Amino acid sequence: MGDSQGTKMNNGPAGILYLCATPIGNLGDITGRVLDTLREVDLIAAEDTRNSIKLLNHFDIHTPMTSYHEYNKVEKAASLITQMKEGKNIALITDAGTPAISDPGEVLVAMCHAEGIHVTSLPGACAAITALTLSGLSSRRFVFEGFLPEEKKERALVLEELQNEKRTMILYSAPHDLKKNLKLLQQTLGNRKLTICRELTKKFESVMPTTIDEAIAFHEENEPRGEYVLVIEGRSREEEQAQKAQQFEEMSIAEHVQLYEQQGLDRKAAMKAAADDRGISKRDVYQALLQEKGEN
């Protein structure tokens, strides 16, 4: 455990929090470093001890466990921090994947930093990244949204923000929410390219490159089963420019220039901005303004 490939346990006065990634399906995806750490820490904090005991039993790990989940994340974090200050090393695991990603672990990490507790992360499986690499969509720039909010108003705000997102978008969806989520995405984004990843790394893993419209039609006839990751194409610059051009066509050149003047640009700068938007010369804008002035 003391070499560069392992995890050296802390021998100082305060313990360490180890964020340990666990498999999202295939048990073979767990790392040797995580297994060593789970065996050597003093305590494992697990999102669901009933679920995690199966993982620990499979690898013959007998470290004590305690629950750490959404409904006790603040008070339990305080208790865990107290134990680490007393010298205990604690591993945090989620039901599947990397802790603190769409997970209450982010609260514990933040509180550890505030209290001066050292935190380290042991990399491993992450459903969002796995799906992105399988999607066939652009992976150079992406945004992770996790699960859409349950609260209607908050969900509407998130969807509104996504409407103009140019980066590839990654969302999680439970099977019972999939149809509803696809229709919400259709209403907000229109028909975009979409890759639906289901049951990643498991026996019945499926990856379906499709579109939002096609996905809705498919799932009207095929009931969703399993856990889903949706990877959605971002808005193209061409689409954005086309929408802007359409908006500009609905206003006169004088109104267009006035719009920029109201934003604080002087006359000359406003004319140049309007010309750039419309793909015409500043002289064309000037002539149009003279003509509109003459007509008035």
The answer to whether 122 touches 30, Cβ cutoff 8 Å, is no
pLDDT of residue 240: 60
Strands (E), the chain: 16-20, 43-46, 65-67, 90-93, 118-122, 142-147, 168-173, 193-198, 206-211, 228-232
Q: Is pLDDT of 201 > 50?
A: yes
pLDDT of residue 150: 93
| Residue 76 belongs to a domain | yes
Q: Is pLDDT of 64 > 60?
A: yes
| Whether residue 40 is found in the same domain as residue 113 | yes
Q: Is pLDDT of 243 > 80?
A: no
| Whether residue 150 is found in the same domain as residue 81 | no
| Residue 4 belongs to a domain | no
Domain range enclosing 52? 16-125
CATH code for the domain of 178:
3.30.950.10
Reported pTM: 0.78
The rounded distance, in Å, linking the Cα atoms of 84 and 111 is 12
Residues 6+ apart with CB under 8 A from 34: 20, 21, 22, 122, 124
| Whether residue 194 is found in the same domain as residue 93 | no
Domain boundary among 103, 125, 147: 125
CATH code for the domain of 74:
3.40.1010.10
Q: What is the mean pLDDT of the chain?
A: 90
Q: Summarize pLDDT for 102-116 with one digit per residue, the tens.
A: 899 999 999 999 999
Which of 176-180, 258-262, 286-290 is predicted least confidently? 286-290
